[in-house]
Amino acid sequence: MEFKFHVEGGDFTSAGTASSQIKKVLKQINIDPIIIKRVVVALYEAEVNIVAHAHHGDIKVKITPQQVYIRLDDEGPGIENVEKAMQKGFSTASSKVREMGFGAGMGLPNIKENADIFTVRSEVGKGTTLEITISTVNNG
């Protein structure tokens, strides 16, 4: 199954639309609630980062029997220092965004925490691509 979403920068009222849709789908196909939670947290944070930091972006979610694969491509300022951006507490969010309770610098760390595979590629002045993979099979 594949799903696509478009996200506009600055559109906070729509933030969470993709996460909410994907949560419903995963519930319908009886994915383990613990896995659903991890997908929801990672996708929500990634979605909000496009809203808070980029101009616009596209989300693709591919669900296979083994995994949930999410790719987010945005056009925007990009991330100057990805390593730094991944640190808990690092944020360049505007004061308006912070007042809303976003911009705690916990988004990328939350994604990393919940993903099995997480890669960030970014080009300053162009945009950012995130790839998030979460396995849905018990491999323990």
Partner 1 sequence: MTVEQISQQLNLTVFGGNKGLNTEITGGYTSDLLSDVMGFAAVGSVWITLQTHKNVMAIASLKDLAAIVLVKGFTPDPDTLAQANEEGIPILGSKEQSFELSAKIYNLLN
Ligand X SMILES: Nc1ncnc2c1ncn2[C@@H]1O[C@H](COP(=O)(O)OP(=O)(O)O)[C@@H](O)[C@H]1O
Query: Looking at beta carbons only, is 48 or 54 nearer to partner 1?
Result: 48
Alpha-carbon distances of 4 from 12, 20, 38, 46, 62, rounded to whole Å: 19, 13, 19, 14, 9
Question: In whole angstroms, how close is the CB of 126 to partner 1 at the nearest point?
Answer: 25
Pairing status of strand 127-135 against strand 117-123: antiparallel
Angle at 76 between CA 112 and CA 113, to 5 degrees: 5
Question: In whole angstroms, how close is the CB of 32 to ligand X at the nearest point?
Answer: 26
Binding mask 41-60 for ligand X (x = CB under 6 A): ----x---xx-xxx------
Question: Does residue 76 bind Mg ion (CB under 5 A)?
Answer: no
Which of the residues 74 through 133 are near ligand X (CB under 6 A)?
A: 74, 76-79, 85, 90-93, 102-109, 128
Question: In whole angstroms, how close is the CB of 13 to Mg ion at the nearest point?
Answer: 17
Beta-bridge partners for 118: 132
Looking up tokens 């809303």 gives 100
From the list 7, 12, 6, the residue with the least C-alpha distance to 94 is 12
What is the contact surface with partner 1 in residues (CB under 8 A)?
A: 12-13, 15-16, 19-20, 23, 37, 40-41, 44-45, 48, 100-102, 104, 106-107, 110, 113
What is the contact surface with Mg ion in residues (CB under 5 A)?
A: 49, 107
